[in-house]
A and B are shown apart, each in its own frame.
Chain A
Amino acid sequence: MDGQKCLYSSGFPQQAIPHTIIGLPMNRQTTPATPAGLGPLELRVMEVLWARGESLVRDVVDRLQNTLAYTTVMTTLDRLYKKGLLERRKLGRAFLYAPRLSPRDWERKRAGDLVAGFLAGARPGRELLVSCLLDAVSEYDRALLDELERTLRRKRRELQRRSQP
């Protein structure tokens, strides 16, 4: 589970990006899935469901160590279901909720939505994204090449020392 946590807890700071910028509609109730727009509580609930699998509202409340009211968790689960991130089936009078996407798929969809949002949005946003990506890549390249050159210089010095009598 630790590995999975890494997958969905690291990534883009989605809270800092307004939905209008990333090209997602503001009315989230009617959209099938907007993973980029998850709040902290929704994320915690998703983490519980990814860890446990199919669960009742009570199971999720227990897993959250009763820090939240039953109705709050129920509403959150219902909201996630309406966003298309959960599926549910009836068990007696209660609902059993299960995640529709694995953490990895969710992360991929989130990144994909973010990039698609930028690319579909206004021209400055698109260019900004591409330029940020290129900057990041070339910065990484420069750092990598610097590191490799340092290694090679060190190795060359070693070889020269070894060859001297």
Chain B
Amino acid sequence: MILPYALRLLLLCAASYFVVYCAASLAVCAAVPAVMRRSAWRRPRREATLLAALRLLPLLLALFAVAALCVPGYLRFEPEADAERAGVLSILAALCGAGIVLYGLTRAAGALWRSVRSARDIRRSGSPIRLDGEAAPASVLDSDSPLLALIGLARPRVVVSRGLLSALSFEQFDAALRHEQAHRASCDNAKRLLFLLAPDPFVPLGRLEALERAWARLAEWAADDRAAAGDPRRALSLAEALVRVARMGCPAAPCPISAQLISDGSGLRERVHRLVELASQPAAPVNPSAGRLLPLSIVTGVLVLAFACQSQVLYSAHQLLEAFLR
């Protein structure tokens, strides 16, 4: 098929996105069993970060390939000559790539829209309340179900039901609130949205879904640890709050992108036992390397980008993509 300059660039972007996305997804799928075997009991935060990074690796690599290699290489080395021929394989790959991107965007946009609408409804129907440590007022819902959740993306807010407020003691509610604040500090809702942007191209393997489930479990553990902050009494209060809420029944999630105190009862036993263990043992020292992870990632990203912008690298990448296009 003969395509003009701009359309060829679009085709190249979509096709290279598909190839890199699938290759990276396959590599992540292969790595999942080994990663899941690692013990995360004592260091859930680090392991949760690792799992989230692995889950998002295909998306990040594919975006990097398109933004840092494909587009600059094409604009720099492809002469704006007449239209050129594109092969069937590259057109098919481009269609699949566009399909993956559109599906991811649709999922994320749908979840975002439902979340925004739910958050608006909750704010309208609930009454505002000032909570300790909360910059924005939380919303209290007139409901008997034991709801405590963090909703929203940019400025996540706490939603709490009257049923839960009346069921928990002051210490228990304080610990539960700290748990939700820990989810906000870890940007867990934003990560959930990013996961939606990166659909699993190998659904029958079920590996990326398993990775997501494992991440969700570890994110809860990490939030528990952060809420307890090495205080045995607070760890115990949080465990008591979890059991009290579970006894009242787990409510449905208020919106697709939200963090709840208990999303379902499946991991309750593990969480309570971990908190009891936290209450028995002195707090583990905070790993200083965890705080350095973000700056380290940024520096690595900049270095890789600088390398990719090298003329020779761009030219090689362009040649490779040209061969693929034909």
Contact = CB atoms under 8 A, between A and B. Distances in A.
A145 B236 contact: no
Contacts, number: 32
Interface of A is mostly: helix
A148 B243 CA distance: 7
A152 B243 contact: yes
B272 A148 contact: yes
A146 to B, nearest CB: 9
A1 B39 CA distance: 28
A145 B279 contact: no
Nearest to A155: B276
Given A144-B268, A148-B272, A155 B279 contact: yes
Interface in B209-238: 232-233, 236
Given A159-B232, A159-B233, A152 B247 contact: no
Given A145-B243, A148-B243, A149-B243, A155 B268 contact: no
Contacts of A156: 236, 240
Contacts of A145: 243, 246-247
A34 to B, nearest CB: 28
B276 A152 contact: yes
Contact of B239 (A141, A144, A152): A152
Contacts of A155: 236, 276, 279-280
Nearest to B265: A141
Interface in A140-165: 141, 144-145, 148-149, 151-152, 155-156, 159
Given A145-B246, A145-B247, A151 B276 contact: yes
Interface residues of A, number: 10
B269 interface: yes
Contacts of B265: 141
Interface residues of B, number: 16
A113 B41 CA distance: 38
A148 B233 CA distance: 16
Contacts of B276: 151-152, 155
Most chain A CB within 10 A, of B243, B269, B279, is at B243
B186 to A, nearest CB: 25
B230 to A, nearest CB: 14
A159 B279 CA distance: 8
A144 B240 CA distance: 13
A55 B31 CA distance: 38
B233 A152 contact: no
Given A155-B279, A159-B279, A144 B232 contact: no
Contact of A151 (B233, B247, B272): B272
Contacts of B247: 145
Given A141-B265, A145-B243, A159-B279, A152 B272 contact: yes
Contacts of A159: 232-233, 236, 279
Nearest to B239: A152
Interface string B262-283: 0001001100110010011000
Contacts of B243: 145, 148-149, 152
Nearest to A162: B232
Nearest to A140: B265
A155 B240 CA distance: 11
A143 to B, nearest CB: 11
Contacts of B232: 159
Nearest to B250: A141
A152 B269 contact: no
A149 B232 CA distance: 16
Given A144-B269, A155-B276, A156-B236, 17 more contacts: A141-B246, A141-B265, A144-B268, A145-B243, A145-B246, A145-B247, A148-B239, A148-B243, A151-B272, A151-B273, A151-B276, A152-B239, A152-B243, A152-B272, A152-B276, A155-B236, A159-B233
Interface of B: 232-233, 236, 239-240, 243, 246-247, 265, 268-269, 272-273, 276, 279-280
For the complex of A and B, 5 pairs with smallest distance between CB atoms: A148-B272, A148-B243, A155-B276, A145-B247, A152-B240
22 contacts: A141-B246, A144-B268, A145-B243, A145-B246, A145-B247, A148-B243, A148-B268, A148-B272, A149-B243, A151-B272, A151-B276, A152-B236, A152-B239, A152-B272, A152-B276, A155-B236, A155-B280, A156-B240, A159-B232, A159-B233, A159-B236, A159-B279
